[in-house]
Each structure stands twice: as C-alpha cells, then as structure tokens.
C-alpha cells in the first residue's frame, strides 16, 4: 500500500507541476499583452474562465496530495486502515478502491451529509 500511495503522490506532484507551468505561461502571455486589441474583452473573459478552472483543478490536486500525505503518516503511526471516527477497520476492499480513505463507509457518508462523526 505504501508503494501505491507513493506512486499516487508522484503522479499528483507531476499534475501539480504541469498546472503551475500552465498558469505561469498564461500569466506571462497576458503580461506581454500578446492579445490582439480587437477581441481583447472576449479573450480576457475566456482566459479568466480558463484560469478559474485551472485553479479549481489545482486545488483539487493539492487536496488529494494532502490526503496521500495523511495516509502515509497513518501508515507510519500504525493507524492506517482504521476509521478516524469510530475506530473500526475500514476494510480492504474500500482501501483498495480509495487508498487515502480516512473513514469507514458509514462515517464517510455521515461526513458527506455534513453530520459530525461521533467521538
Ligand atoms: Zn467509522
């Protein structure tokens, strides 16, 4: 499982680097004012949407990276595979599907419903 998490971490770091590169390129382009003056407004609008989408993807990637880091910490301290809310084993099938899972199915559902887990 550790190898899988480390591979996932490498993949996410690559995705993040790519997104940051893209972002850098875009800001360089707009800084050098390469946009043709005529369609400036339309292009700025579409660029803004693109930028916002890029940022939300970047946030998602960074969130997943945090999840992977947490899972690696739990592997180190031996709490990996146990639900952080009820302490019960999360189960191999679920960990196979979601290696960074912190909660069992019930508590994950409660989390998503916004119900604070017991304990
Ligand atoms: Zn639980």
For the chain, the straight-line distance linking the first and the last C-alpha, in angstroms and rounded, comes to: 27
Is the pLDDT at 3 greater than 90, yes or no?
yes
Q: How far, in Å, are 68, 74, 75, 83, 98 from residue 1 at the CA level? A: 11, 12, 9, 17, 11
pLDDT at 21: 81
Q: Measured between alpha carbons, how far is 6 from 9 in angstroms, rounded to an integer? A: 5
Give the Å distance between the CA of 4 and the centre of ligand 1: 23
Higher pLDDT, 53 or 59: 59
Residue predicted with more confidence, 108 or 45: 108
Whole-prediction pTM: 0.68
**Cα 3 to Cα 23: distance, rounded to the nearest angstrom:** 30
Ligand 1 mean position, distance from CA 3 (Å): 25
| Alpha carbon separation from 116 to 8, 9, 79, 85 (Å, rounded) | 28, 28, 20, 9
101 alpha carbon – ligand 1 mean position (Å): 11
Residue 13 alpha carbon to ligand 1 centre in Å = 30
What's the confidence (pLDDT) of residue 34? 54
| HEC per residue, the chain | CHHHHHHHHHHHHHHHHHHHHHHHHHHHHHHCCCCCCCCHHHHHHHHHHHHHHHHHHHHHHHHHHHHHHHHHHHHHHCCCCECCCCCCECCHHHHHHCCCCCCCHHHHHHHHCCCCCCC
CA of 44 to the centre of ligand 1 (A): 47
């Amino acid at each position: 499982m550790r190898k899988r998490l480390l591979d996932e971490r490498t993949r996410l770091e690559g995705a993040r680097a790519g997104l940051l590169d893209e972002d850098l390129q875009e800001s360089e382009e707009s800084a050098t004012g390469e946009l043709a003056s005529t369609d400036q407004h339309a292009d700025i609008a579409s660029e803004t949407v693109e930028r916002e989408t890029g940022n939300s993807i970047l946030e998602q990637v960074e969130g997943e990276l945090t999840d992977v880091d947490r899972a690696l910490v739990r592997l180190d301290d031996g709490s990996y595979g146990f639900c952080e809310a009820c302490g019960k084993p999360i189960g191999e099938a679920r960990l196979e599907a979601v290696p960074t899972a912190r909660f069992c199915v019930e508590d994950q559902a409660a989390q998503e419903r916004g119900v604070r887990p017991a304990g």
